[in-house]
Structure 1
Amino acid sequence: MMANLFSTFDPGTSLNLALNWLSTFLGILFIPLSYWLIPSRYLMAWNTLTATLHNEFKTLIGSKIKGSTLVFISLLTFLMFNNFLGLFPYIFTSTSHLAMTLAMALPMWMSFMIYGWFNNTLHMLAHLVPQGTPSALMPFMVLIETISNIIRPGTLAVRLAANMIAGHLLITLMGNTGSSISFIILMILLTAQILLLILESAVAIIQSYVFAILSTLYSSEVI
């Protein structure tokens, strides 16, 4: 019996150590080995996915910084593995915690800002005032753009964590009522749980893609 609803997301264990965070590294086991003479279908599918994502990110970033798409491809696959693994029983969902999502969003955003303001200062200042803004509204637009720029890492982190925790909470709530209902309602509940699990699988992919795409867009603004 759970002490409270949010104990499902407790990173602690019976040993009073946060060993549950080690589930973050389980995604490494799914990376295919590339040491075979003839590649497997899994490796070919992996290479196809990587090439598709590379072309997708390259259209957003351009060719100004070579190899930068690999960073965002790694970020996407890392988040996708963690989101998917959190759907399995007894596996801790690290991406449902702000400690995890902020640890990825904040340093990335800070590196973009430091690079942009030190290397492209005029370009960064131009971003604060959209083209065609009347002179009377320029101070307000600078304030609005500055605030929207500051809250970007927070929105990245909260969006991912909130979407992950919402589906898990709903699955937990529905699962806890299964022992006290009739057989017919139980079948309806199981059907709803399966549909919700399919939806959560889609959310796991979409949220990792959104996180990587938004990070790519933020990096393209400082180049």
Structure 2
Amino acid sequence: MVLNFFDQFMSPTFLGVPLIALALSLPWILFPTPSSRWLNNRLLTLQNWFINRFTQQMLLPLNLPGHKWALILASLMLFLMTLNLLGLLPYTFTPTTQLSMNMGFAVPLWLATVLIGLRNQPTAALGHLLPEGTPTLLVPFLVIVETFSLLIRPLALGVRLTANLTAGHLLIQLISTAAFVLMPMMTSVAILTAIVLFLLTLLEVAVAMIQAYVFVLLLSLYLQENI
């Protein structure tokens, strides 16, 4: 039995070697490689359909210059979604529960959107810090508030993904532990707990996909403001 519920979020090691590198590279191995044939199999067709539909949906709010980010955003979506879903399997590790990794994705990509805005349209980018029609007395205060809200965006991206996945994994472990403990004492209650655990697992599958989509969607909205 796990002595600490938070031990599941520690990066596992084997012979002193961190296995997070294997966890990060494994998802790309699981995706089937597109072939050069005219007709693909059912799995490749489904995969291509999903990527095309997601990319079209993601590019709807973006202007034409933002379409250059299609490959980056689609790859990030698939990567995060696969890591989140694989982390629900037994004896696995979810790298996206690590705040350091999520911030490593959020900060550079957010900073790239800000730098693009400052390079292409510096006046409009700086104009976001002060809404039009602001009273003169509120100008310094609003500039500070808008600057703080701009700088906190990558933190919100990383913390949102980490908190949702961490909370879901903790709930699953708590309910599963309760089901095992109640099984020899109160079988009927343990069965009800197992049903709740099954429904929560389905919810976590949905959360794993939705959180990956929300991460990329917010990033695309930040990009739209700066192009």
> Could you tell me the TM-score, scaled by structure 2's length?
0.92
d(CA) in 2 for partners of 1:128 and 1:187? 55
Stretches of structure 2 lacking an aligned partner (at least 5 in a row): none
Partner of 2:198: 194
Cα RMSD for the two superposed structures: 1.6
Q: CA separation in 1, counterparts of 2:48 and 2:140?
A: 48
* Higher mean C-alpha displacement, 97-106 vs 125-134: 125-134
Partner of 1:39: 40
2:212 paired residue number: 208
Secondary structure in 2 aligned to 1:132?
coil
Question: Counterpart of 2:203 in structure 1: which amino acid?
Answer: L
Percent identity, aligned pairs only?
A: 37
Name structure 1 gaps, 5 residues minimum: none
Q: In the alignment, which residue of structure 2 is the partner of 1:140?
A: 141
Give the AA of the match of 1:188.
Answer: L
Amino acid in structure 2 at the alignment position of 1:157: G
Structure 2 CA distance for aligned equivalents of residues 145 and 128 of structure 1 = 5
Partners of 1:54 and 1:11 in 2: CA distance:
32
Q: Which amino acid aligns with 1:221?
A: E
Change (3 A) 1:21 1:188: farther
Match of 2:172 in 1: 171
**Aligned pair 1:150/2:156, yes or no?**
no
Q: In structure 1, which of residues 208, 218, 222 is the aligned counterpart of residue 222 of structure 2? A: 218
Q: How many residues align?
A: 223
Deviations along 1:129-166, one digit per CA (max 9) or x if unpaired, are 12333333222221111000001110000000000010
For residue 130 of structure 1, what is the aligned residue in structure 2? 131
Flag as ranges the 4+ runs of structure 1 deviating above 4 A. none
**Contact 2:55 2:74 survives alignment (8 Å):** yes
Q: Which amino acid in 2 is paired with 1:183? A: T
Q: Residue 2 of structure 1 aligns to which amino acid in structure 2?
A: V
Contact in 1 for aligned 2:12/2:93 (Cα 8 Å): no
SS in structure 1 opposite 2:12?
coil
Instruction: Note the 1:33-182 alignment, pairs <5 A.
Output: 33-35=33-35, 37=37, 38-181=39-182, 182=186
Using the size of structure 1 for normalisation, the TM-score is 0.94
Q: Alignment partner of 2:17: what SS?
A: coil
In structure 2, distance between residues paired with 1:205 and 1:31: 16
Bigger shift: residues 28-37 or 192-201: 28-37
